[in-house]
Amino acid sequence: MTTMREVAVAAGVSQKTVSRVYNRDPHVLAPTRERVLRAMSDLKYTPNALATTFRAGRAPVIGVAVPDIVDPFFGAIVRAVDQEAARHNMSVLVTSIGEDPEREAEIVNSLLTRSPSGLILASVRQEQTYLKIWLDKLPIVFVDRAPTGVQADSFTDDDLGGAHMATTDLVRHGHRRIGFVGDRLSLPTTSLRLAGYRRALEEAGAGFDQHLVALGVQDHDTALAALLRLRGLDDPPSAVFSSNGRVTMLLVPALKKVPVAISSFGDLPLAASLTPPLTVVDQDPASVGSLAARRVLDRLAHPYRRYRRRTVLQVRLIERESCRS
Amino acid sequence: MTTMREVAVAAGVSQKTVSRVYNRDPHVLAPTRERVLRAMSDLKYTPNALATTFRAGRAPVIGVAVPDIVDPFFGAIVRAVDQEAARHNMSVLVTSIGEDPEREAEIVNSLLTRSPSGLILASVRQEQTYLKIWLDKLPIVFVDRAPTGVQADSFTDDDLGGAHMATTDLVRHGHRRIGFVGDRLSLPTTSLRLAGYRRALEEAGAGFDQHLVALGVQDHDTALAALLRLRGLDDPPSAVFSSNGRVTMLLVPALKKVPVAISSFGDLPLAASLTPPLTVVDQDPASVGSLAARRVLDRLAHPYRRYRRRTVLQVRLIERESCRS
DNA sequence: TTGTAAGCGTTATCAC
DNA sequence: GTGATAACGCTTACAA
């Protein structure tokens, strides 16, 4: 790798002049610039990005931490961030947190150690106070789940509204007993969706029944168990509302054994091709990722500008047939 | 952030001694080490990773470039790399290449500019000679698709064998006219799978018919068009073999309009829950990612050791009902 | 307009 | 065993 110093020698100028030319500083005479440019191309000069980064004190990189990059929802967020970042000559440092809240701080801190210029996070924790020491060092933007215990930007979906919409839709299709199947109430998405579900039921005069709430779904076994428990109730539900796409993915195979109408918060890749086609609340993760990335970039470009902290994106119901049954 | 210099002053030693203590150099007297360690914890010393990286000349990072991170196949590779990397205090720089071969070099070169310690690549190009200048600078490992025009490690699946297996299975279910639906023959995966398909047909005495090969599938429209063209043949196929998971994802919705038996190279998230359940060749992308990451790490740890260049992983057929028709 | 010198925080060299 | 000094490649401050 050839360095600025070498280019400087070749062009018969100082290192600083090469730096100026490279960085398009106008204070260089045209002929000088020509000489330097020639030397640069002759020697195939490429700047050492590591040195620039070191100098700058931060890497031209956006860190992204999500529960699971294989989940198409989070995958879409990461891809959108990547595209937005690429436009600004930035790269994306990703990591999958997993579902264990205990490990998050360690994983994210290790990501932050790499001095990214910004962080985009879908936290699996109930509070994120461990991030406090970082808040004044780089822009941190929460996606999908708003922060608790720290002040930071967030782009989330209208969890309450979406759940309300989906539940109301089930009621409209004649369901009175509707189960809620989810993972952990410690996640704001889940608790908000439960709230939306509950409100819809109450508004419909169908009443809220704690027994219809089945939490703790983590894998195929717990998903099946949840459905079996609901079916075993004295007054079993005729439909269930699944609180997120991951849970729905686990629930779908179990529906073969425990058929029941279903509506899902979160779209799935082949939702329309299932039998019956799945009714879902569509979330547009690409927009979330894109907005989050742009916010990071905006904050870097305009450190003192003020922004709206919390942005809630609208969701829409895609009615298909699984809500009937 | 406190620096080594500050720790050195606090402990009354030289900067180099702090460095030695931090790096567990045994050539430090116990009492000296104690003093330094105390100073480090008093001042909450954390090394500046950017400086270390600059010094080292490469970042503790593995670059990963895949066509599309949202594709669960590639997502699983990325996640596996991430897990393996994390164990070695490395991070992962990802990027989605897209499907345009023209853009790959630019995208991957920009990733390489960040000086990752290694690169894992699922190329969308027919040849990768643009990587030649990098080969002696960092370990490059190809996944899913073996390299052409450059010598590098690769972890791929048994494309020919898997396609042969799936096609033979279709024949066993009574199909004689079997279509091949794919994307681009310039991808080694596609051409190898076509070869396996062809060999299976010839071995079965069913003969190979060029008209049964439908390429160019890129989206829902082209997928449907491919099926329609095949159905319109004088002697239409009773089954199709889909050359990869992405194509299958596009084909599945079209099957509603053009029903035909199908078998897919590449598993899908809800393959077993479709109607009919999809017969697939299962690929285990997590192993591919994990092996690739370990190879990168091994090469970094043992620069002069020799390794097998090409590793082909076995695949297995998961028989479900879509192959019947 | 151009150049000199210093410095970012770490590690390597080589004395002592 | 420990430390002074230089070096990595770039940018900033300041001079000329």
> The CATH number of the domain where B275 resides is what?
3.40.50.2300
Q: Are A275 and A290 members of one domain? A: no
Q: Are B62 and B25 members of one domain? A: no
Q: State pLDDT tens for residues A116-163.
A: 999 999 999 999 999 999 999 999 999 999 999 999 999 999 999 999
Q: Are A149 and A290 members of one domain? A: yes
Q: How confident is the model at residue B324 (pLDDT cuts 50, 70, 90)?
A: confident
| Phi, psi dihedrals of residue A237, rounded to the nearest 5° | -75, 150
Q: Give a yes or no: residue B51 inside a domain.
A: no
Q: State pLDDT tens for residues A161-202.
A: 999 999 999 999 999 999 999 999 999 999 999 999 999 999
Written in H, E and C, the secondary structure of chain A is: CCCHHHHHHHHCCCHHHHHHHHCCCCCCCHHHHHHHHHHHHHCCCCCCHHHHHHHHCCEEEEEEEECCCCCHHHHHHHHHHHHHHHHCCCEEEEEECCCCHHHHHHHHHHHHCCCEEEEEECCCCCCCHHHHHHCCCCCEEEECCCCCCCCCEEEEECHHHHHHHHHHHHHHCCCCCEEEECCCCCCHHHHHHHHHHHHHHHHCCCCCCHHHEECCCCCHHHHHHHHHHHHCCCCCCCEEEECCHHHHHHHHHHCCCCCCEEEEECCCCCHHHECCCCEEEECCHHHHHHHHHHHHHHHHHCCCCCCCCEEEECCEEECCCCCCC
Q: How confident is the model at residue A10 (pLDDT cuts 50, 70, 90)?
A: very high
Max CA-CA distance within chain A?
90
What average pLDDT does this structure show over B56-69?
97
- Looking at the predicted structure, is the pLDDT value of residue B325 above 90? no
Q: State pLDDT tens for residues B236-251.
A: 999 999 999 999 999 9
Q: How confident is the model at residue B20 (pLDDT cuts 50, 70, 90)?
A: very high
Nucleotide with minimal C1' distance from the CA of B17 is D2
Q: Give a yes or no: residue A51 inside a domain.
A: no
Report the amino acid identity of residue A202: E
Q: Point out which residues pair with A95 in neighbouring strands.
A: A65
For B94, the 3-state DSSP assignment is strand
The tokens describing B251, both together, are 């084909």
In percent, the amount of chain B with pLDDT more than 70 equals 100
The answer to whether the Cβ–Cβ distance between A82 and B72 falls below 8 Å is no
Q: How confident is the model at residue A1 (pLDDT cuts 50, 70, 90)?
A: confident
Sign of CA pseudo-dihedral B16, B18, B23, B25: positive
- Please report the residues numbered 124 through 183 in chain A whose beta carbons come closer than 8 angstroms to any beta carbon of chain B: none
Q: Are B210 and B275 members of one domain? A: yes
The tokens describing A236, both together, are 């079993």
Q: State pLDDT tens for residues B160-211.
A: 999 999 999 999 999 999 999 999 999 999 999 999 999 999 999 999 999 9
Sequence-separated (6 or more) residues with CB below 8 Å from residue B23? none
- Looking at the predicted structure, is the pLDDT value of residue A245 above 90? yes
| A283-314 CB burial, b ≥16 within 10 A, e <16 | bbbeebbbbbbbbbbebbeeeeeeeeeebeee
What average pLDDT does this structure show over A56-76?
97
The answer to whether the Cβ–Cβ distance between A269 and B274 falls below 8 Å is no
Q: Give a yes or no: residue A52 inside a domain.
A: no
Cα–Cα distances (Å) from B175 to A304, B194, B277, in that order, read: 68, 17, 18
* Nearest Cα residue in chain A from B54: A50
Q: Are B106 and B141 members of one domain? A: yes
Nucleotide with minimal C1' distance from the CA of A50 is D9
**How close are the terminal C-alpha atoms of chain A, in Å?**
67
Q: How confident is the model at residue A324 (pLDDT cuts 50, 70, 90)?
A: confident
Return the minimum-mean-pLDDT range out of A17-21, A120-124, B178-182, B221-225. A17-21
**DSSP 8-class letter at B313:** E
Would an 8 Å CB–CB cutoff place B99 in contact with chain A?
A: no
Footprint of strand C, using CB within 7 A?
A 12-17, 20, 26-29, 31-33, 54-55; B 1, 3-5, 15-16, 19, 22-23, 47-48, 51-52, 54-56
Quick check: bond before A276 cis, omega within 30?
yes
Domain that holds residue A31: 4-46
Q: Are B145 and B194 members of one domain? A: no
Q: Are B27 and B128 members of one domain? A: no
- Looking at the predicted structure, is the pLDDT value of residue A318 above 80? yes
Q: Are A75 and A172 members of one domain? A: no
Share the mean pLDDT of chain A: 96
* Nearest Cα residue in chain A from B246: A269
Instruction: Identify the residue whose tokens are 């079965």.
Output: B204
Cβ-Cβ contacts under 8 Å, B50 against chain A? 53-54, 57-59, 115
Q: Give a yes or no: residue A222 inside a domain.
A: yes
Q: Are B149 and B291 members of one domain? A: yes
Rounded to two decimals, the pTM is: 0.96
Q: Give a yes or no: residue A232 inside a domain.
A: yes
What pLDDT is attached to residue B323?
A: 87
Sequence-separated (6 or more) residues with CB below 8 Å from residue A50? B53, B54, B57, B58, B59, B115
Would an 8 Å CB–CB cutoff place B1 in contact with chain A?
A: no
Q: Are strands A59-66 and A116-121 parallel, antiparallel or unpaired?
A: parallel
Share the mean pLDDT of chain B: 96
What average pLDDT does this structure show over B296-322?
96
- How far apart CA A56 and CA B56 sit, in angstroms, is 17
Q: Are B123 and B187 members of one domain? A: no
What average pLDDT does this structure show over B69-94?
97
Q: Give a yes or no: residue A64 inside a domain.
A: yes
DSSP per-residue string spanning B148-198 = SSS--EEEEE-HHHHHHHHHHHHHHTT--SEEEE-S-TTSHHHHHHHHHHH
Nucleotide with minimal C1' distance from the CA of B33 is D1
Q: Are A97 and A205 members of one domain? A: no
Cβ-Cβ contacts under 8 Å, B76 against chain A? 70
- Please report the residues numbered 185 through 224 in chain B whose beta carbons come closer than 8 angstroms to any beta carbon of chain A: none
Instruction: Identify the residue whose tokens are 């099926």.
Output: B227
Q: How confident is the model at residue B63 (pLDDT cuts 50, 70, 90)?
A: very high
CATH number at residue A19: 1.10.260.40
Q: Are A25 and A139 members of one domain? A: no
Q: Point out which residues pair with B64 in neighbouring strands.
A: B94, B120
Cα–Cα distances (Å) from A289 to A80, A292, A315, B176, in that order, read: 5, 5, 15, 47
Total tally of structural domains belonging to chain B: 3
Measured between CA atoms, how close is B246 to chain A, in angstroms? 11
